[in-house]
Chains A and B, each alone.
Chain A
């Protein structure tokens, strides 16, 4: 048994976020240990996505957010603004972040594409497909591949299986389990699914409306 406590990769102290006069997050303090998985839960409107956007530095706030010096964040947003009519292929999307095709292929393999010989034709078709034409499950795995480019040590996943069917959800959480095992990753994810929290999370942050 390892008695050494893992170091923190994120420390949040007395965080407050408000839009105009409306307080969204108030007096929020927590820390996340390196390589842990934190589930963020709470009702709609409790500020889960706002918390993510604040952690990413997209929203101004009061209080303290301290990431470790070596932090590299991969972010999977809940949804994209891209419709089926935008002619951006999956490969072109991934190339927006990484020039090296070999690294892109590695990330795609990691999220389950190009893995099995019998799926190879389907997977090659997916790479050439318009981003907006993917199924919910495929899009989530592509967003995960995008997040994994650039070797992040933290993943922020905003409701990664919202709008995905049961099979797609199962595939996604199998990938989730494998990533936790194979890569040194700290994962912070938003979910509404209690079972997912029980199976995958090391700790839980529950946000409420009480502020």
Chain B
């Protein structure tokens, strides 16, 4: 999302999960599945409008962000609202863990398969299309992957903070990476270390894990900015 200059689209997608979580809670189903359903609908909406209309992505983000947040705030039962917004690691059970492992494996495999086409599209959509790459299809697959990442993260980080973990590791890695290969390694490293260190800090100081993880990621971003490649 960062390389495609769509960081805020990733952030907006995470807010879209809120009404999905609310519906999940209302009907007593796993909120992660509710979030995934809402994200899928929003992803197709964003993709369709960006491919078939001339609305700027920023405008789409504004509309989806406010609409989803408002709808989610109205629908989510008050006791669960804080948890839906900021996540709660203690509520993550074995089923969620299995979903996450399977989902992460799918994300890695599909990203690996489309990465060359995706990168070429970032360099020049015309160049990619001239080589027969179906960019509309690649962009849709990519947005669906982001939706899956967000769906896997919402129970842990909540709808307000999940977007941060889509953006921060990539921005931090971009500051110091010399190549795409090192960018991928740094981004994964910052993501994993932020999650592990953030959880440990949260346990030690008895604070919520979501904000601790995000702030650890921000710390890495600041460090990467100091050592930024000129």
Contacts and interface: CB of A to CB of B under 8 A. Distances in A.
Indicate whether A and B interact: yes
Q: For this complex, into which size category does the number of interface residues on chain A fall?
A: 20 to 34
Interface of A: 53, 56-58, 73, 75, 77, 80-82, 85-89, 92-93, 96-97, 128, 130-131, 146
**Chain B: number of interface residues, binned into ranges:** 20 to 34
Interface of B: 3, 116, 119-120, 122-127, 129-131, 173-174, 177-183
Contact of A82 (B123, B126, B174, B179): B123
Chain B binding surface SS class? helix
Given A88-B180, A92-B119, A93-B123, 7 more contacts: A56-B126, A58-B130, A75-B127, A80-B123, A80-B124, A89-B178, A89-B180
Contact of A96 (B116, B173, B179): B116
Contact of A81 (B122, B130, B178): B122
B183 A87 contact: yes
A131 B131 contact: no
Contacts of B180: 87-89, 92
A80 B121 CA distance: 10
7 contacts: A58-B129, A73-B130, A80-B123, A81-B125, A87-B174, A88-B179, A96-B123
A87 B127 contact: no
B120 A77 contact: no
B178 A75 contact: no
Nearest to A150: B131
Contact of A56 (B122, B129, B178, B183): B129
A77 to B, nearest CB: 5
